[in-house]
Structure 1
Amino acid sequence: MKLVYANVILVFLLLCSSMLQVSMAASDFCDSKCLVRCSKAGVQDRCLRYCGICCEKCSCVPSGTYGNKDECPCYRDIKNSKGQDKCP
């Protein structure tokens, strides 16, 4: 019985580690894209934070430092509580 529990735990750990690698890869993608997107922002830390949130949700970031939001409709359509664009 202990062997069964050990195997279940081992399989669980393997699945968790593979999911962690996928999420870290997505994070690296977002970090690099958001660094480019926010490179000319006046308040870079805020730009990077919101860009990262939007990128994780949409899995894309428009090219360039401003505009081009039609490249990523999900990114373009996210609004804050005041109805303004959330994503830089």
Structure 2
Amino acid sequence: MLERRGAGVGVEFVNGMRAGALTAVTWVKSSHSNATGNCVEMAALPGGGIAVRNSRDPHGPALVYTREEIAAFVAGARDGDFDAMVG
């Protein structure tokens, strides 16, 4: 679980929190996304975590991962580990 502290109050970043509550982050969309909104967006969180949301539901739930978890996923995607799921 990642935590951000500010103004003396602790704010926790947890899986399933509303992505709309993450107001101080910049969401990044893949250049491979299309005009119908079929994409996943990611945002770096204060403290080092990464939030992931569905672009079709920008205020819906966000999943929170460590940088190491995202690095492992990206490496697997580069290696083709998930190709059978989209082919």
Q: Same fold (TM over 0.5)?
A: no
Query: Which structure carries more helix by proportion?
Result: 1
Output the TM-score relative to the length of structure 1. Answer: 0.26
Larger CA Rg, structure 1 vs 2:
1
Query: Which structure carries more strand by proportion?
Result: 2
